Structure 1
Amino acid sequence: MRIFVTGASGWIGSAVVPELIDAGHGVVGLARSDASAAALEAAGAEVVRGTVDDLGVLRDAAAASDGVIHLAFKHDIAFSGDFQGAAEADRRAVDTIGEALAGSGRPFVIASGVAGLAPGRVATERDMPVDDGSPVSTRMATAQAVLGLAARGVRSSVVRLSPTCHGDGDHGFVATLVGIARAKGVSGYIGDGANRWPAVHRLDAARLFRLAVEAAPAGSVLHGVAEEGVAIRDVAEVIGRHLGVPVTSVAPEAAAGHFTWLGGFLGLDAPASNTLTRELLGWEPVEPGLLADLGKGHYFDTQAPTA
């Protein structure tokens, strides 16, 4: 297949592209910069220049493809405080791609998340998000709209990713937590730290996206979850050991001051299963788990971001 990939040079996309090429697919990647274009060309992909705001570019590239994997999201804007704006831009991009694929039977796979699906219990692929009026709900509504494209002749699927997609080169949540621990001189967790985050290695996630674009039935919900839930206290202990700093509890009311923007996420208890995904597509995660990956030391080789 000739697959159009947005976010092709990003953290997940840069693993998805070689996964697709190694499986014999052609890849057309969206690139918004010269550096991204060069990286995609070096990986063996064709390049389309543009951003998620260039709706005409998205429409034409989707229409010319045999399928689409949509990974792009304005994370820089989202984490600077305008998550709603980023989510609305994402919805426009998804609607444009969906229109281009309507009635074709071609696959359309997007990335979403598992966090917040089922507070207090293990979330499954059958759980549907609840609209609570938050900006996160806007993005979840976009995922629901993609699933609805199944009724319009699109083989649509949603891969709900773990909040922790870890691996060498990660600059996300875990790298930020490392940076905060280094800056503060303590490795912290909120409350008793028993709350759990699902985790998946980005190479395992990349393989799931390939399986989805190849074979996921229309309207499928898939969980990019390798580990059901890793206690945040355990993560903090590994970080503390590697940095040689104390490991300590941070009171919930002090979380925002200590962890900055990460404080709103770090206290979530959001375990999730992958049983239905494995049964549907035969996906078997094989890469190291989060604590083992942290133990390799690459998260501590360079200065990690603090916010």
Structure 2
Amino acid sequence: MFKRQRTTILKNNLEKDCILHKHAVILANLGAPESIQDLRPFLKNLFMDPDIVRFPFGKIGQRFFSSMISLLRAPKSARHYELIGGGSPLQKQTEIQAELLRKALQGYGNYKVYTAQRYWHPLFNETANQIWNDSVQKITLVPLYPQYSTTTTQSIINHWRRQPNLPEPQIIWRFYTEGLYLDAVIARIQEALQLFDEKPHLLYTAHSIPVSRIKAGDSYQTEIERHYELLQERLDYRYESTLAWQSKIGPVEWIGPSVKESLQALRKKGVERLLVVPLSFVSENLETLFELDIEYKACALKNGFHQYERAATVQDHPFFIKMLVNLIKEKNND
């Protein structure tokens, strides 16, 4: 009987130790509305973020202006979301990435993979509560932005660190230079190239940010330009190419040239076939499915381009998942 009790105690201690050493991996992204009803509260959360835009009068001003802007922008944004099916696939694609990562990490340690979205569910506090309830001892935070910016990666880091009672995370960022990530993007480019009978011009696009951010020291533009060059190197410069910037909002100066400006300039040069390659995203979203696939495609065809195609984002590509596994293992010495 004593031997049986001792065995039970040892088993319970082992189970407790296993729980204590549970390692959380958080795939964190912007978040997006999954229905039209989600749109206004999503926009309010977005504009409440001081890392995106700072309004006057502190928190009171931030709350007031974010409410007003979300009210004004929601109807126009709703029309755009209706054209892509009524909501964004971002969270569903993040969940697929998380599930594949869970499977790929089996055998390397007691990892549990979570998703968290900055401006829509699952919000950071929701994921943080789940992690706390799971008695996690270590955390690796993965902002799903290939390049660093204060408006994206740093916003994720800042907001996560505001969550109480959790260990300081290890952070994986700036993965646009990783060989496997470049391979995943190239694979998506090569898939899209199969749609052309003649060699296209590659139009690389990146989400723009205000020039004031760059002047304040944000490295995003430099990292986008480096990413663009690395991809062209991997393609042995076989395709003529252009880098353009999308998604400008508001009256302030943003990084350019814009996609529309580039479309006009390329058509004047006689370019007829375009393959668009988005650089800023690992999943599909409004910026790819509406801006690139609908708005800019219509603009291109109106301006006389004969063919306009787009490379998919990396999403669940095996090279991308393998890169995440490698970086997580390296960060935690597994």
More helix per residue = 2
Q: RCO (CA 8 Å, sep 6+): is it higher in 1 or 2? A: 2
Flag whether TM exceeds 0.5 (same fold). no
More strand per residue = 1
Normalised to the residue count of structure 1, the TM-score between the two structures is 0.35
Tell me which structure has the larger Cα radius of gyration: 2
